[in-house]
Amino acid sequence: MTELHILRVFCGADGGAGNALGVVLDGGAVPGEPARQALAAELGFSETVFVDDPAQGRVDIYTPSVRLPFAGHPLVGTGWLLRREGLAPDVLRPPAGDVPVRQDAEFSWIRGRAEWAAGRNTRRYDSVAEVDALPTPPEGTGWLYAWAWQDETAGLVRARAFPRRGDSIAEDEATGAAALVLTSELGRALDIRQGVGSQILTRPHGDDTIEVGGRVALEGSRPL
C-alpha cells in the first residue's frame, strides 16, 4: 500500500503553523510527470514530494501547477521524514543539484544556492504593518516575497509569500527557497517569521551556499 505522509514544515516555537507538505516515500508507485502533477493538483498542498531513491536521496517536487527543480520546505521536510523512517541520506538530489541535509537539535537543515530559486522576487516594505496589510495576493504577476525588518539588529524579518502562479496557492505559509534568496541579497543570517506563525532560520556560508532550517511536525499519513 502506498502512503502519503503529511507534514508541517517551519513550525513556530509553539509547534503550530508551518507549511503543509505531502511526501510519497514510494515515488515509483506514481510514475511519470503527468501522473505526479495530477496528484499534486488533487492534493492541493504548496508542494508534494515523490521520493524516487531514498538511499541516494533522489526526489521530485511538484506544486499544484508546476514541477520544481528546487524548493526549501519540501526538502527540509523530506530530509526530516527520511531520518525519522531510518532512511537518512546526507544529501538530497532534486533536479537542481546536491542538497546537503542535517539535523541539529529541534531543527532540520538543508544547504542550497540562491540561483536554484530564481524567479522569486523580494520586495522590502517600510514596516511590519505594511506587510501584514497586503491583500492575498497583492496585485501584479510573478512570485513575490514581501518583507520588512521587525528587528534589523537581531536579523528578525517579517515576511509573506505570494506565488501568483494562478493555481490554488494564493499565499505560501512558509517558503525556504525565497528565504534563501533574501538571505543571499542581505548577506546575513536571518530569523524569518512568515505567514500566520511559521519560523525559518537561515545561515550564509563562504562558498555561496546558504543553510535554511526549521522545525518539522508529522500531521499523519493515509493511503493514496
pLDDT tens column, 6-35: 999 999 999 999 999 999 999 999 999 999
The rounded distance, in Å, linking the Cα atoms of 96 and 113 is 9
**Domain match, 100 and 11 both:** yes
**Domain match, 129 and 186 both:** yes
Q: How far is CA 33 from CA 49, 183, 222, in A?
A: 12, 32, 22
The residue range of the domain holding 11 is: 3-104+213-223
**Domain match, 98 and 67 both:** yes
Domains of the chain: total: 2
Domain-embedded: residue 32? yes
**Domain match, 23 and 65 both:** yes
The stretches in the chain having pLDDT less than 50 are none
**Domain match, 83 and 138 both:** no
Domain-embedded: residue 50? yes
Domain-embedded: residue 65? yes
Domain-embedded: residue 132? yes
Amino acid at residue number 99: V
Distance spanning both ends of the chain, measured CA to CA: 8
| Residue labelled with grid coordinates 497583492 | 138
Closest-CA residue to 51 (of 115, 101, 120, 105): 101
Q: How far is CA 216 from CA 81, 89, 108, 124, in A?
A: 9, 17, 7, 28
**Domain match, 12 and 91 both:** yes
**Domain match, 187 and 149 both:** yes
Domain-embedded: residue 110? no
**Domain match, 150 and 78 both:** no
What is the CATH number for 161? 3.10.310.10
**Domain match, 149 and 217 both:** no
Domain-embedded: residue 66? yes
**Domain match, 181 and 218 both:** no
**Domain match, 162 and 84 both:** no
Kindly give the interhelix angle for 72-84 and 176-186, rounded to the nearest 10 degrees: 120
Domain-embedded: residue 71? yes
pLDDT score, position 77: 98
Q: How far is CA 77 from CA 34, 123, 145, in A?
A: 23, 26, 21
pLDDT tens column, 116-145: 999 999 999 999 999 999 999 999 999 999
| Residue labelled with grid coordinates 525559518 | 200
Domain-embedded: residue 109? no
Residue 208 phi, psi (nearest 5): 70, 15
**Domain match, 146 and 81 both:** no
